[in-house]
A and B are shown apart, each in its own frame.
Chain A
């Protein structure tokens, strides 16, 4: 058979091929060990020296032609086959899925953590203390002796003559100093209790207490530290003001206000640790000084989530708390 006819036959075969198996068979038929093109190449030896180059060239051209055609065809066939798979695997993707409601941390936990992460990154450690506290730690050690008018500011729940539900997280200051000694840097988030209930007060609420004691800490350090914190919390540079106030366990004492749309808004209390408190906890006030601050988590949560009624935070209506 001459090359011309072989090429004709080959084209015919290629036209008939419809799947990858046909292609594979054709490859064997033409290019296999005993394939027709392969046999032609073997027969080249029978030709004379002068005929060989021309015939070799023609066979190579045919071989190249065949390989090109196979490649084109195999691409087409592959595409057809994938299309067929896609067709049989088709599903209705518009069917609805039952999505389980995502769980969420309570807004208060989120606020606490937002605050804690800042102070952790500043090297503060997190402390914890009992919620049923002694009068000593809750009041006396904090320079609030019996019958001190400041005790009136705390409507205290008592469980017996000496033990009460802590009215603030400040007792942890004393416990932390007694445990770790100066210098130290701590914050303490936790529940506190006061006998008070209205739109802005719940009998249980959360505070974060901060305390830093070191040598030569001054009021300017306190102002800087808290201003930076407030800028972080609200995510922008705020107008912050410090104004004189009174806490028995700090001197000087201050309230911190931030400028809100409606005017100045009270955010937290702070001050330089009162020397009586340092002495009570066994720290030499001549060597060390420090500052303390406390802030109400519910207030921060209200601001961060733009809510009005604080009591809603404890009603645990999933429609509300799952939004945060």
Chain B
């Protein structure tokens, strides 16, 4: 809310420096967002929190300053002579939404002077409205807006001659239409509150008047409305129809329900003063049982002092409460019984009063106290493990990236990642309209943008949640990385990142995370090249995939050069057992080298499995140290050379034990794969 410094000073009856005022407001919880100089005055922009509807006026803000200064506000009084009663009848049907409806009639006023020119209001009123960002419309509307700005009561004026029959306050019928002042017609729902006459709606209550009943330059008689609309019937409506008004903002936060007659008095006095005319007595239709109640709260002095670490005496607390217009009903030893003022809707429980006292004392004046609790928690979480894993990748020269969790559903569909996709009903833009089911789309976006800048070598990873809904919503933590290596290598390094580099990395991640019982199978991922990829399993559960990206994906994303990708489910990496350290064997190890010639088509793993099957339980290591094709070998052959190491924890192994194992390996490899020993 924007307000002029001079306006506040008028209410306070004294001058204040702008810096002091601004600091004081901020420290009271009315945060000053900005101050701008306007001629000899200052416009102060206050960021009001939604609980403080009572500060939505010069009066409200000044009330806070006065309380903090421990003084009282200057009293203002408007009075106007009244003639008779209005003949217009108002029927309030929706009492729960409109517990109080006050109105009066002003006739014989004129918005223009004898020359047909619009009458001007004092510069002070105009500049206060302008500073508050309230547009000048016509003198009647401007005066009503000024009353709202000054004391906080939103009002409305109907052109009396445009009203037919009695006025009703009622809920709308389904799809009932109202043509608003700003010329838009909206279709209402049953919970919307309307002011109507015999012909139909004349206002969307508390939010905006209708075009047809509005005050115009030739208006000569008006009906002034000053009502209390219950916040819960106004809340959400303005937002629903996209029409926030100064009135709706105030009504939805709550307007002082004892303010209506005072506002009528002030408005009619100003209208008659500047526009002429005479007014009727005000009429007020009240449903007491539907009006908010001033609340009774018991405040324990002990409780208060404990909460904020003070030792305030009861006398001081009583004094501070009274400066806030909080009425003290009774005091019983430690308990102060109070009644909340009608302008405060945010005071409900003892803690609310604690905050009030704390505000007036000043948060900065409250003591800091070291916490003496010894409560410590040692529950294990995945946070540290995840961080370790991220650092592991970082040490392997991967750069971490963070992408939005929502992406374009079109891209997810194209990549066949749309199974169980969760759409956002109100996305900020269409390309951020669905929750990611994989980290792949984000990472390829990063690849494409960085490659465009000429990056020909990229190792990036991301750790975060992916989302899907099959039966219910599921979130799981993933870790994925992308390796793009098209760089011209240096004189001393020739190897380019390939599938085997990736396999080494993937197994290191599993090993680093201490996952036992790892196995690899052909990958089932649509994203990966079917011949250059693998899925990684923990027991029988798939925990990740890695490989070269499928050429069809490259086509889809229109990226010409190949790259590698891996994705893990991190939750699965972490629920592994703790490690038990085993004492190494004291006995010597034995090594033998064996080279087999086999068909080129035979997968390494087949021969490997056969060797380990027959090598006996003391085999501790098997290493493929040479893979050879060509030379003296036939075209469809290859040679695989293994170094086998045996060691026992129980004793030194004998040569003939090893020989026996080797014979068995050779015999079985020959019968199973036709493997020949290379001499």
Contact = CB atoms under 8 A, between A and B. Distances in A.
Interface of A: 95-98, 100-106, 108-109, 113, 116, 123-128, 130-132, 147-150, 152-153, 157-160, 163, 165, 180, 183-186, 189, 191, 193, 195-197, 202-204, 212, 214, 216-221, 223-225, 227, 241-246, 248, 251-255, 272, 274-275, 289, 313-319, 321-322
Interface string B346-370: 0001011011001100011011111
Contacts of B382: 128
Interface in B433-477: 435, 446, 449-450, 453, 455, 457-460, 464-465, 467, 473, 475
Interface stretch (B390-398, B602-610, B648-656): B390-398
B467 to A, nearest CB: 6
B306 A109 contact: no
A98 B449 contact: no
Contacts of B425: 157-160
Contact of A147 (B236, B355, B397): B236
Nearest to B434: A159
Nearest to A226: B368
A242 B363 contact: yes
Contacts of B359: 244, 252
B239 interface: yes
B660 interface: no
Nearest to B350: A275
A203 B396 contact: no
B460 A318 contact: yes
B432 A203 contact: yes
Given A252-B355, A313-B402, A223 B366 contact: yes
Given A159-B424, A220-B367, A314-B402, A98 B489 contact: yes
A108 B426 CA distance: 27
B355 A185 contact: no
B490 A97 contact: yes
Contacts of B49: 245-246
Interface stretch (B26-34, B85-93, B589-597): B26-34
B617 to A, nearest CB: 41
B403 interface: yes
B435 A246 contact: no
Contacts of A149: 50-51, 235, 252-253
Nearest to B394: A103
Contacts, number: 244
Contact of B28 (A147, A185, A244): A244
B368 A224 contact: yes
The CB with the most chain A CB atoms within 10 A, among B369, B377, B396, B489, is that of B377
Contacts of B475: 130-132
Q: Chain B interface: which size bin?
A: 35 or more
B410 interface: no
Q: A interface, by DSSP: helix, strand, loop or mixed?
A: mixed
Contacts of A102: 397
B546 interface: no
B387 A183 contact: no
B427 A157 contact: yes
Contacts of B403: 314, 316
Contacts of A184: 375, 377
B450 A218 contact: no
Contacts of B354: 251-252
Contact of A252 (B27, B358, B453): B358
Interface string B39-72: 0000000000111100000000000000000000
B422 A159 contact: yes
B399 A104 contact: yes
B397 A243 contact: no
A316 B366 CA distance: 44
A105 B400 contact: yes
Contact of B391 (A105, A131, A191): A105
Contact of A191 (B28, B232, B355, B464): B464
A242 B29 CA distance: 10
B383 interface: yes
7 smallest CB-CB distances across A and B, nearest first, come from A244-B29, A98-B490, A246-B49, A220-B309, A220-B369, A252-B355, A149-B50
B50 A219 contact: no
Contact of A97 (B371, B432, B453, B492): B492
A244 B492 contact: no
A123 B377 CA distance: 6
Contacts of B424: 157-159, 165
Interface string B192-235: 00000000000000000000000000000000000000001001
